[in-house]
Structure 1
Amino acid sequence: MGTVGTLRSAGVRAGDEVVVPAFGSAEVAQAVVELGAVPVFADVDGDSYCLDPAAVADAVSSRTAAVVVVHRFGRPADMAWIREVGQRHGLLVLVEDEPGVRPEEAELRREHAGYLDGRLTGVRTPAPASGHAYEKYVVRVPGNGRPDRDAFARALRAKGVACRAPVQAPVYRVPGLRQDVFLPETERAVDETLALPLDAGMTRRSVQRMAGACNALGGLLQPAL
Structure 2
Amino acid sequence: MLRAAGVGVGDEVVVPAFGNVEVAEAVIRSGALPAFADVDPVTYCLDPVAVEAAITPRTAAVVAVHRFGRPADVGRLREVGQRYGLLVLEQAEPDAPYDEVAQRRERAAYLDARLRGVRTPDGGDGHTYQQYVVRVPGNGRPDRDAFARALRARGVDCRVPVRTPLHRLSGLRRHVSLPQTELAADETLALPVDASLAKRDMQRIVSACNALGGLLQPAF
TM bracket (short chain): over 0.9
Q: Which runs of 5+ in 1 are unaligned?
A: 1-5
Deviation string, structure 1 residues 12-45 (Cα, Å, up to 9, x no partner): 1211110000101111111111221011000000
Q: 1:68 aligns with which of 63, 66, 76?
A: 63
> Does the CA-based 8 Å contact 2:141-2:216 persist in structure 1?
no
> For this pair of structures, how many residues does the alignment match?
218
Aligned to 1:3: none
* 1:142 Cα deviation after fit: 1.2
Q: TM-score if structure 1 supplies the norm length? A: 0.93
Q: Distance in 1 between matches of 2:2 and 2:73?
A: 21
* Change beyond 3 A, Cα 1:147–1:63: farther
1:179 corresponds to which letter in structure 2?
A: R
Q: Which runs of 5+ in 2 are unaligned?
A: none
Q: TM-score if structure 2 supplies the norm length? A: 0.95
Aligned to 2:201: 206
* Change beyond 3 A, Cα 1:155–1:164: same
- Structural RMSD (CA): 1.5
| Mapping of residues 28-177 of structure 1, within 5 Å | 28-144=23-139, 148-177=143-172
Q: Distance in 2 between matches of 1:147 and 1:10?
A: 48
Q: Percent identity?
A: 66
SS at match of 2:51: helix
Higher helix share: 1
> Does the CA-based 8 Å contact 2:61-2:89 persist in structure 1?
yes
SS at match of 1:194: strand
Deviation string, structure 1 residues 141-188 (Cα, Å, up to 9, x no partner): 012389611111010000000111100111111222111123000000
* 1:208 Cα deviation after fit: 1.7
Structure 1 stretches of 4+ moved >4 Å = none
